[in-house]
Amino acid sequence: MLTDMRCRTAKPRERLYRLNDRDGLYLEVKPNGVKAFRYRFKLGGKESMMGLGEYPVTPLSEAREKAQAARKLVKDGINPVQQKQLDKVRQELDRRNTLELIAAEWLATKDWEDITKKRRLDMLRRVVFPMLGKLPVRDITAHQVLAILQATHIRAPTVAAEAKRTLSSIFQFAVATLRADIDPVWPVRNALPKNKTQHKTALSKEQVGKLLREIGEHRGNFMTVQAFRLLWYTLLRANEVAAAEWSEIDLEKRVWTIPAERMKARRPHSIYLTDQALEIFTGMQPQTGKYKYVFTGRDSKQKPLAIATFRQLLYKNGWAGTYSPHGTRTTGSTMLHEMGHRSELIEAQLAHIDQNQVRRTYSHTDYFSERAKMMQEWCNFICTLS
């Protein structure tokens, strides 16, 4: 059996020789004085050798530990030489599979609009990547994730919540593609205080009338005012109205069909053009009919109206703290229910997805004709308010 003294005092000879330790481990002494530990094993009836490191860089105690680990692999029918090579390959792949790279792949799998992907990537670059972006995704720990979430939560709770959801999805993607073993967000998922949901408050009839009158009298950008009015006449989302394309509009049939890629639920959505909505499109056609978008951008006719212009319009008219564009849908839903319209018609107009999986599977109607009558009644009603 070898000792450290024996390893240290072993002298080179004219020919290579070996000093045996135990269970296949030995020290090989070469004529040039280089000493190296080797492990001899037999697998499948064939003898092989495995290098364990040169002495004294690799001490005897470490060589024995490596030999013991290799011995366990052989016992399980695994070639330790091949396993060592696989481990090196895996380590190199892990080194390359950084969080930034995995995040980019994860984003590429999403059928989101480009602007949505850009916002999510911007958040990662601001909040997550400075600390974790260059690290192998397999090496990132729950402690590191928690540190980022807690620091972000102090200054921006909603951003911290978004970062937590996004990181968890990225890690789950890494696990599914065999480049991570766990999602380190999971152990700390409840470490941050829960954000209080701020529901959009519905406006009263008096407030709706006052809002529409004041916006109608606004002497600012005519296009922004028309787009804002269309929000109320259709109850669509702000981004769906702002990026309306002429190719989606059939003035003769009085139908606006928004393609799936522009809808939140990723399903095409058709709405009836009421008298009031039709009047807006007819009025806009001479101004922007030759362009792609109905409501063009301020700086470029080739781009759609920016959603931020709605907020600016509200701010200039003193409504910024009372109402947001999404409040249009909340108000519309509330008032349409008060007017006696059925929930399924209202939900279909708002393009909401039925949360009942079975009902959603078997329901293929969008109640277009009934919605048309309902929305004409709605438009007539809010016009009387203003």
Q: Decide if 125 is catalytic.
A: no
Q: Decide if 341 is catalytic.
A: no
Q: Would you call 102 helix, strand, or coil by DSSP?
A: helix
Q: Decide if 329 is catalytic.
A: yes
Residue type, 339: M
For residues 225 and 218, the answer to whether their CB atoms sit within 8 Å is yes
Q: Which of 15, 46, 362, 364 is catalytic?
A: 362
Distance CA 170, CA 47 (A): 45
- Residues whose CB falls within 8 Å of the CB of residue 101, separated by 6 or more in sequence, listed in order: none
Q: Which of 189, 210, 218, 352 is catalytic?
A: 352
For residues 202 and 323, the answer to whether their CB atoms sit within 8 Å is no
Q: Which of 40, 264, 292, 311 is catalytic?
A: 264
Tokens of 195: 């954000």
Q: Decide if 237 is catalytic.
A: yes
Q: Which of 134, 316, 326, 337 is catalytic?
A: 326
DSSP 352: P
- Residues whose CB falls within 8 Å of the CB of residue 80, separated by 6 or more in sequence, listed in order: 39, 41, 50, 69, 70, 73, 74
Q: Decide if 362 is catalytic.
A: yes
Distance CA 361, CA 214 (A): 44
Q: Which of 64, 120, 164, 329 is catalytic?
A: 329
| CB atoms near residue 125 (< 10 Å) | 13
| CB atoms near residue 162 (< 10 Å) | 17
Distance CA 198, CA 189 (A): 21
Q: Which of 237, 269, 341, 371 is catalytic?
A: 237
Distance CA 210, CA 145 (A): 48
Distance CA 10, CA 55 (A): 11
Q: Would you call 17 helix, strand, or coil by DSSP?
A: strand
Q: Decide if 15 is catalytic.
A: no
222-234 vs 308-316: helix axis angle to the nearest 10? Answer: 100
Please list the active-site residues.
Answer: 237, 264, 326, 329, 352, 362
